[in-house]
């Protein structure tokens, strides 16, 4: 929005329902600093439905905001839209799986970073200007991330309100994320839960994680073996219940079955011989999340070429998994556990049939017992 020398009136839209006054200014008038907003609120110059407000008061859809003239800071000008090349625009649109009023679901290719960093100039965040068509359109924003070498579903929010909505679902763990992975070797237990706390590995500059039972943050992953190729490799479904950095990669390596192509955590053991690709075989296959538009947003991402080719070479059928979220039921009991449960059940049954035991030395309520005594 442009600067003005006149009093301005704005209507609170549905996307801003429940937002704080200061956050509303940050979204819609970023050139107005927080100090100015606080001063306007303190002196009664900014009003909502004609009433005075504080910066931390919440707004409701349909309310009218009065904004006084001026307050524009030169160092707070809105960020200019980045000019993208035609190739970058095509790259962005080629990733789109699904568009809704509140979100854009992308299929991020392996090798493309989610965000920029040192010497990282080509990334998803830098391509989001491709989805800004009009001058007044809001720039989409990331609400979660994938590792550079991980492919699959990446959700982008189209408005600030939907970004807050989705972020809350991700942080609250109600979003269901199901990954596909090829791992070296075959786990002995076909379905289970990996619980191993994770922390940054000392000396790695924070670039690598490791299992740390003393000071690590709790990390939990459900897994299920879909198919196996002798003892060479296994195709797994992985469902992270927490969102730690590199969680799936570290958990698979800690289980003794590193993800194929993940040399960072599996070393030389992470690569299969023959024609199997050396790229990482970890793919965010499906995302199920509540939508601010109502109902669920359910998105599936096609496999990258190297992953699909590896499945075929190993004799796996891509239709063997529908990436359904795993239930919270406890894993099946072992044969010994079932026997112990049966023995305990029989013992309890016999005890119930006998009825209450008599007290030792008692007479069943027939008076004192006569016994032989010493003379």
CATH of the domain at 292: 3.30.2350.10
**Can you tell me the mean pLDDT for 30-42?**
90
Q: Where are the alpha helices (DSSP H) in the chain?
A: 21-28, 34-42, 86-94, 124-127, 160-171, 247-254, 263-266, 305-313, 335-354
* 276 and 169 belong to one structural domain: yes
* 49 and 131 belong to one structural domain: no
* 274 and 228 belong to one structural domain: yes
**Can you tell me the mean pLDDT for 338-342?**
70
pLDDT, position 76: 46
Structural domain contains residue 161: yes
* 243 and 306 belong to one structural domain: yes
Q: How far apart are CA 157 and CA 104, in angstroms?
A: 6
pLDDT, position 137: 79
Instruction: Provide the residue range defining the domain that includes 55.
Output: 8-67
Which residue, of 262, 281, 314, is where some domain finishes? 314
* 289 and 154 belong to one structural domain: yes
* 19 and 116 belong to one structural domain: no
Structural domain contains residue 45: yes
Q: How confident is the model at residue 47 (pLDDT cuts 50, 70, 90)?
A: very high
Helical pair 34-42 and 21-28, crossing angle rounded to 10 deg = 130
Contact between 197 and 217 under an 8 Å Cβ cutoff? The reply is: yes
Q: How far apart are CA 242 and CA 195, in angstroms?
A: 10
Catalytic residues: 147
Structural domain contains residue 79: no
pLDDT, position 360: 53
Query: In this model, does residue 276 exceed pLDDT 60?
Result: yes
* 133 and 22 belong to one structural domain: no
Closest of 217, 213, 210, 220 to residue 240, by C-alpha:
220
The contacts found for 30-38 with CB under 8 angstroms, 24 or more apart, are 30/76, 30/77, 30/78, 31/3, 31/71, 31/72, 31/73, 31/76, 31/77, 31/78, 32/71, 32/72, 32/73, 32/76, 33/71, 33/73, 33/76, 36/71, 36/73, 37/71
Query: In this model, does residue 357 exceed pLDDT 60?
Result: no
Q: How confident is the model at residue 365 (pLDDT cuts 50, 70, 90)?
A: very low
Structural domain contains residue 347: no
pLDDT, position 27: 81
pLDDT, position 373: 47
CATH of residue 24: 3.10.290.10
Residues 161-211 have pLDDT tens digits of: 899 899 999 998 899 999 999 999 999 999 999 999 999 999 887 789 999
Q: Count the domains in the chain.
A: 2
pLDDT, position 17: 85
pLDDT, position 309: 97
* 138 and 91 belong to one structural domain: yes
Structural domain contains residue 241: yes
Contact between 176 and 325 under an 8 Å Cβ cutoff? The reply is: yes
Which residue, of 287, 314, 341, is where some domain finishes? 314
Residues 366-375 have pLDDT tens digits of: 444 444 444 4
Residues 81-97 have pLDDT tens digits of: 678 999 999 999 999 99
* 159 and 277 belong to one structural domain: yes
* 90 and 63 belong to one structural domain: no
Structural domain contains residue 30: yes
DSSP 8-state secondary structure symbol assigned to residue 134: S
Structural domain contains residue 74: no
Q: How far apart are CA 350 and CA 345, in angstroms?
A: 9
* 16 and 92 belong to one structural domain: no
Query: In this model, does residue 135 exceed pLDDT 90?
Result: no
* 165 and 111 belong to one structural domain: yes
pLDDT, position 133: 81
Q: DSSP 3-state assignment of 285?
A: strand
Structural domain contains residue 356: no
Pairing of strands 47-48, 64-67: antiparallel
**Can you tell me the mean pLDDT for 239-253?**
97
**Can you tell me the mean pLDDT for 249-263?**
97
């Amino acid at each position: 929005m442009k600067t003005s020398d006149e009093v301005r009136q704005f209507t609170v839209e549905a996307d801003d329902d429940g937002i704080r006054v200061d956050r509303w200014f940050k979204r819609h008038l970023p050139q107005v600093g927080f100090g100015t907003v606080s001063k306007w609120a303190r002196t009664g110059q900014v009003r909502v439905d004609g009433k005075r407000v504080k910066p931390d008061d919440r707004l409701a859809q349909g309310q009218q905001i009065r904004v006084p003239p001026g307050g524009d800071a030169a160092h707070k000008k809105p960020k200019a839209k980045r000019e993208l090349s035609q190739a970058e625009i095509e790259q962005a649109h080629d990733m789109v799986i699904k568009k809704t009023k509140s979100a854009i679901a992308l299929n991020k290719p392996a090798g493309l970073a989610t965000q920029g960093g040192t010497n990282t100039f080509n990334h998803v965040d830098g391509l989001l200007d491709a989805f800004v068509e009009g001058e007044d359109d809001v720039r989409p924003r990331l609400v979660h991330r994938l590792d550079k070498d991980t492919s699959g579903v990446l959700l982008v929010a189209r408005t600030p309100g939907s970004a807050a909505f989705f972020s809350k679902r991700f942080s609250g763990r109600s979003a269901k994320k199901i990954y596909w992975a090829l791992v070296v070797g075959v786990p002995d237990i076909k379905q289970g839960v990996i619980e191993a706390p994770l922390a940054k590995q000392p000396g790695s500059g924070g670039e690598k994680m490791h299992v740390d039972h003393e000071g690590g943050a709790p990390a939990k992953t459900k897994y299920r073996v879909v198919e196996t190729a002798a003892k060479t490799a296994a195709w797994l479904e992985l469902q992270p219940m927490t969102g730690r950095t590199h969680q799936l990669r570290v958990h698979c390596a800690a289980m003794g079955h590193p993800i194929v192509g993940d040399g960072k955590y599996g070393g030389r053991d992470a690569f299969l011989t023959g024609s199997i690709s050396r790229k990482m075989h970890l793919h965010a296959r499906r995302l199920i999340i509540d939508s601010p538009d109502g109902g669920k947003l359910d998105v599936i991402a096609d496999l990258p070429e190297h992953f699909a080719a590896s499945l075929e070479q190993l004799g796996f059928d891509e239709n063997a998994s529908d990436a359904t979220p795993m239930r919270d039921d406890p894993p099946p009991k072992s044969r010994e556990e079932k026997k112990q449960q049966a023995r305990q059940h029989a013992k309890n049954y016999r005890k119930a049939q006998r009825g209450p035991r008599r007290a030792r030395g008692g007479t069943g309520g027939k008076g004192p017992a006569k016994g032989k005594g010493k003379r």
